[in-house]
A and B are shown apart, each in its own frame.
Chain A
Amino acid sequence: MSEQFKPNIVAFLCNWCTYAGADLAGTSRIQYPANVKIIRVMCSGRVNPLYVVNALQQGADGVLISGCHPGDCHYMEGNFYARRRLKLLKELLEFTGVDPRRFNMSWVSASEGHKWKEVVEKAVEDAIAAGPFDQFRRRQIGW
């Protein structure tokens, strides 16, 4: 391949922490890879595991979920539920043979613009290492 593989990463960010953190990274002019497509959700606990499965089906090479640090959730406990749920999803995806590097989760607070940069860099690095993910792509139905 002459051109380097540019992964598509879907990021589900919590409105109160990581989205603000990513915003801070932007306003502070921190340079980070442009491979993440951010979807803002109100809480990391809002992320239905099927969102992740659907993202992978629709051509994402990696998924990143990020929310507030435990204890800092705007809704008191949303990220605790997310943690349990997404741990199980990670195990399940891994068990079915999806490269574990395609699934990343992080806690990034509103003041951690630099951490957001590191997280994105790590996710992109992981997705590049895992390669394009075409096996699971949803087939277009054509008649």
Chain B
Amino acid sequence: MDLNQLRKVAAEVVSRDDVKYLIGWRRGTFGYRVAPYFVEDAAGVDELIFSPLCISNLATYLTLVEKLPVPRGQEPDKRKVALLVKGCDSRAVAQLLVEKGVKREEIVVVGLPCPGMIDRDLLAEKYPETDKAAELRWNGEDFLLVGEGEDIVIPRAEVLAEKCRLCRHPNPVLSDITVGEPVKPWAAADDSGVAEIEAKGAAERWDYWEEQFSKCVRCYSCKSACPLCYCEDCILDRLDPIWVNRAVNFSENTAFHLARAFHLAGRCVECGECERVCPAGIPLGKLNRKLAQTVREEYGFEPGLDPEAEPFQASYKPDDPEEFIL
């Protein structure tokens, strides 16, 4: 990835009159960490980076932004928001377009073909003393850690994030401008963790999820980080009717997680944000992937590939499977 090319394109985009800001990544405040970055003018583009740690999904910010009421007599700001997207992020954008969560004319999508991201927890675990290193880069198939003495080559298999191991769409599915050459999709691993759980008996599965859901502290990070959890009036915030009690116990936690997973059924683009931000380490991705797999295999539908598609749960086919119905 040529950063200069990215910065040049970004500078052109933010200089446009009809663009409010560009959402990208820059170096965080410590070591190799990466933080989201809102670029408002061309002078700011020099800080933009794209490294194997740019794992966060910036599409979340499209719907997270607060829409204040426009004072009387003033025109609403109709300028576009530009954002950098990887393959998975672009699917989230496409799904947002399907649901009319954002409009196409409101955004400028800068696509970045993604060779795979690093799971920072795995990196910290395997290379604990490299925290302060300045930079991480792609090095062919593998990753290269620069700074603090000698450069270290980190084998891809060791630190590749789970979602990237399972990734089927590393290239952006939609973009106005693409920076860099498309990458060749790699053979996605099969071990999504779904089959492993399905192989267990019902009681064992219940025990497994009981252990997982009991860890939940109901911080709702998964909901906040998810690019597709953006209802203004969320059932979890409502007090009347109260769908899921706020008590933090196993029963309510399970109801919450079932509701959360269900609301993403046929919509989840498997960007892995929920699982990444979960402070309790609950494997939320497995729930999402299970439903995504059902939708893919039984209905032949994959969300976030076609911005013109019909939303899965708001459409039907007369010959949908119904072997479970008496």
- Are both chains from one complex? yes
Residues of A within 8 A of B (CB): 49-50, 53-54, 57, 70-71, 77, 80-81, 83-85, 87-100, 104-107, 119, 122, 135-139, 141
CB neighbours of A54 from chain B (8 A):
243, 255
| Residue among A85, A96, A99 facing the most chain B CB atoms (10 A cut-off) | A96
B167-191: which have CB < 8 Å to A? none
Show 9 residue pairs from A and B whose CB-CB distance is below 8 angstroms, ordered by the A residue: A57-B251, A70-B318, A83-B325, A87-B320, A87-B321, A88-B291, A96-B258, A98-B206, A105-B326
B110 at the interface (CB under 8 A from A): no
B326 touches which of A49, A81, A83, A106 (Cβ 8 Å): A106
- Which of chain B's residues has its CB closest to A102's CB? B202
* Contacts known (A80-B316, A91-B290, A92-B290); A135 close to B210, Cβ less than 8 A: yes
B314 touches which of A81, A83, A93, A106 (Cβ 8 Å): A81
Whether A105 pairs with B325 at a CB distance below 8 angstroms is yes
Whether B313 pairs with A85 at a CB distance below 8 angstroms is yes
Nearest-Cβ distance from residue A61 to partner chain B, whole angstroms = 14
Whether A84 pairs with B258 at a CB distance below 8 angstroms is no
- Which of chain A's residues has its CB closest to B294's CB? A91
CB neighbours of B298 from chain A (8 A):
87
Nearest-Cβ distance from residue A129 to partner chain B, whole angstroms = 12
Whether B294 pairs with A84 at a CB distance below 8 angstroms is no
Within the assembled complex, what's the spacing in Å between the Cα atoms of A135 and B312? 32
B245 at the interface (CB under 8 A from A): yes
Give 11 A-B pairs besides A53-B255, A71-B318 with Cβ atoms closer than 8 angstroms. Answer: A50-B259, A53-B259, A70-B318, A84-B299, A85-B313, A88-B265, A88-B266, A93-B258, A106-B325, A135-B206, A139-B251
CB neighbours of B243 from chain A (8 A):
50, 54
* Contacts known (A104-B326, A138-B251, A141-B247); A92 close to B287, Cβ less than 8 A: yes
- Which of chain A's residues has its CB closest to B203's CB? A97
Whether B202 pairs with A98 at a CB distance below 8 angstroms is yes
Whether B259 pairs with A137 at a CB distance below 8 angstroms is no
Nearest-Cβ distance from residue B85 to partner chain A, whole angstroms = 27
B52-88: which have CB < 8 Å to A? none
CB neighbours of A106 from chain B (8 A):
325-326
CB neighbours of B312 from chain A (8 A):
84
* Contacts known (A49-B262, A97-B203); A90 close to B251, Cβ less than 8 A: no
Nearest-Cβ distance from residue B279 to partner chain A, whole angstroms = 21
